[in-house]
Amino acid sequence: MRSRSPGTNARLAAKKKYTYAAFFLVASLVSFTVQTELAAYVQNGLGWDKAYCMLYLTHGSWSFLWPLQLLFLRWKSREPWPQFWRRHKMLIRSTAQMVERQELDVPLGLTSYSPWPYLIRTTAFVTISLTVAGLSWYLAVSMTTPSDLTAIYNCSAFFAYAFSVPLLKERLRLDKSAAVAIAIVGVLVVAYGDGNGGSSSEGPSLDGGKRLLGNLIIGVGSVLYGLYEVLYKRFACPPEGTSAGRGIIFANTFGSLIGCFTLFVLWIPLPILHILGIETFELPTGRTALLLFTSVVMNMIFAGSFLVLISLTSPVLSSVAALLTIFIVAIVDWFLTGIPPTAAAVFGGLLIIGAFAMLSWSTWREMAEDERKRREVDLSGDDDDLGSDKDDD
């Protein structure tokens, strides 16, 4: 009986959660790197520079997250389809009710209440925040280098921390603040530490003024993306204590809702941009279409992985973990172009990695403190059902 104490259950659940998180972290790093390189090549190398159309296609692809997840869950299940489908719908519905109320135990009298109005409202404002932030990425991808793009966009980690304090009631800690300051310095070194930029994969085609404008655009997008991450965590993720499997399933389900909102609502600017001559609508063909399709698939994988990562951990830790893509993209640029990263890129990258280590250690200490307090207060065994959602794994 002592071996299954609340503290033991909490540790086992946390270990399972962060094992999943590590897997999705790797998936997000690889897919983001491939997407970055392909998107830059499609726009710069092949001349298909359609920022909003590319955004529409990539975010619209998120609608496939839930169907693909459903196929995977069905493949794992041995239940008859009617029983499997009924249980899956109940899981989604009950999790949505938990998300709306931010409670693990929804009162029995409210279980019949439909969560769809809340989900529709939440999907709308989260998707709009994401779209505005994401559009800046596609606008800037043809104006700056992949390494700069990755570095500045991943500054969303620090804006996520800033927004987490008022919206998620996260404690303001000196060690985290110091890490944020170091990482910002690292980003500035990567972006402006030398005359040619942190990566030179585009060669002399990028003049200083164009690159500066691209960096400013992506900087605004970075702020908005940090806000999107915190809004998603605050209004679309299950409360703390939810099982890892349930969190993963609902994260991909909400990702599909974002994709569907994009497909059915955000097509409206396409004909407007075409009529005004701002962006002529033109679907790619041949090799461009193939590479764009691959980039879209990579974005879908990244989106699903990153949404799961935020749900299982936090916007700050997830965003800071994504900073690892800075070195990965710089190394890939090196192999593709034969031009090694500059000293500024290496030094700035080391600063960012050091900041990531500091934030990770701070987050781990904070989690350990919270778990210790929970065990001290929760001796009655209220956490015994922490992993009770065994059917959602």
Q: Per 3-state DSSP, what percentage of the chain is helix, strand, and coil (rounded to 5)?
A: 80, 0, 20
Q: Answer for the pair 149, 218: CB distance below 8 angstroms, yes or no.
A: yes
How many angstroms separate the CA atoms of 146 and 328, rounded? 11
Of the candidates 346, 318, 327, 362, the residue with the CA atom closest to the CA atom of residue 156: 318
Q: CB–CB of 94/106 below 8 Å?
A: yes
Q: What is the mean pLDDT of residues 124-137?
A: 88
Of the candidates 302, 239, 268, 283, the one whose C-alpha atom is nearest the C-alpha of residue 98 is 239
Q: What's the average model confidence in pLDDT over 119-137? A: 90
Longest dimension (CA), the chain: 71
- pLDDT tens figures, 367-384: 666 656 656 555 444 443
Res 88: pLDDT:
96
**pTM for the full predicted model:** 0.82
Closest CA to 21 of 344, 339, 317, 379: 317
Which whole-number Å values give the CA distances from 389 to 243, 244, 247, 375, in the listed order?
6, 9, 10, 21
d(CA 27, CA 251): 15
Q: Which of 36, 225, 58, 57 is nearest to 142 (CA)?
A: 36
Q: What is d(CA 30, CA 50) in angstroms, rounded to the nearest whole number?
A: 24
pLDDT tens-digit series, residues 295-321: 999 999 999 999 999 998 888 878 777
- Using CA atoms, how far apart are residues 362 and 173, in angstroms rounded to an integer? 9
